[in-house]
């Protein structure tokens, strides 16, 4: 009799631990799936601040290319600016919240940077320094216009959100 009780308890215990095990496996699989899809979306999206840092290093690269007449470098830097990744959903929502309807102008500044950097890359391909400089100036103006209009506001809202989360 005692033996049967032990056997029963063993079976109950065993089945519970199996269930727990399959649950953790399930959770592990789910988080692995989430990670893969996160990685897949990371290809085209990037957090705003690291993206801005990347744009700055691309501008340095272009500048370097201009002063050393290295058209390949100009083209690479300009191409990277033109094809810069989109914002992550989190940053998009933050910008929308911070700017409301003004977001249209924000997007326009971004478009100016994209298009003019694309033209700059094409001008570099054709070794046309004057054209490179013309587009470079418009790109730079686009960066600065967006900053002087919206940067402070977005930094403020980001701070408020960070404080709320703490
Ligand atoms: C459409 C708007 C927009 C355009 C265009 C834009 N930026 Fe920015 N940039 C921002 C905003 C908003 C911030 C502030 C982000 C924050 O701190 O949350 C920022 C911040 C930065 C920073 C500071 C990052 C830090 O470490 O705090 C740098 C550097 C920068 N931008 C470089 C550039 C360069 C270079 C270009 C052009 C090639 C550019 N940006 C174009 C909106 C823009």
Residue-wise pLDDT for 30-86, tens only, equals: 444 444 444 444 457 999 999 999 999 999 999 999 999 999 999 999 999 999 999
Beta bridge partners of 87: 46
Q: What pLDDT does residue 164 have?
A: 84
Whether ligand 1 lies within 6 angstroms of the CB of 81 is answered as yes
Mean pLDDT of 135-159: 97
**Residue of 49, 46, 55 whose CA lies nearest to 142:** 55
So where are the chain's domains? 1-43, 46-165
CATH architecture type of domain 46-165? Up-down Bundle (1.20)
Question: Using CA atoms, how far apart are residues 25 and 81, in angstroms rounded to an integer?
Answer: 42
Residue among 60, 118, 108 nearest 84 (CA): 118
Q: Are 81 and 132 in contact (CB under 8 A)?
A: no
For a ligand 1 pocket test, name from 52, 77, 109, 117 the mutation site with the most ligand atoms within 8 angstroms of its C-beta: 52
Contact 147, 155 (CB under 8 A): no
């Amino acid at each position: 009799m005692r033996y049967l009780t032990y056997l029963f308890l063993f079976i109950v215990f065993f089945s519970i631990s199996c269930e727990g095990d399959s649950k953790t496996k399930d959770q592990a699989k789910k988080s692995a799936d989430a990670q893969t899809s996160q990685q897949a979306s990371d290809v085209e999206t990037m957090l705003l601040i690291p993206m801005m840092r990347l744009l700055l290093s691309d501008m340095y690269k272009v500048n370097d290319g201009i002063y050393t007449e290295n058209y390949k470098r100009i083209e690479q830097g300009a191409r990277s600016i033109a094809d810069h990744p989109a914002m992550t959903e989190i940053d998009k929502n933050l910008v929308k919240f911070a700017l409301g309807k003004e977001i249209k102008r924000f997007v326009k500044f971004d478009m100016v940077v994209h298009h003019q950097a694309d033209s700059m890359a094409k001008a570099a391909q054709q070794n046309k320094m004057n054209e490179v400089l013309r587009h470079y100036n418009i790109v730079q103006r686009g960066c600065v216009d967006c900053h002087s209009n919206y940067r402070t506001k977005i930094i403020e809202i980001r701070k408020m959100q960070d404080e709320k989360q703490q």
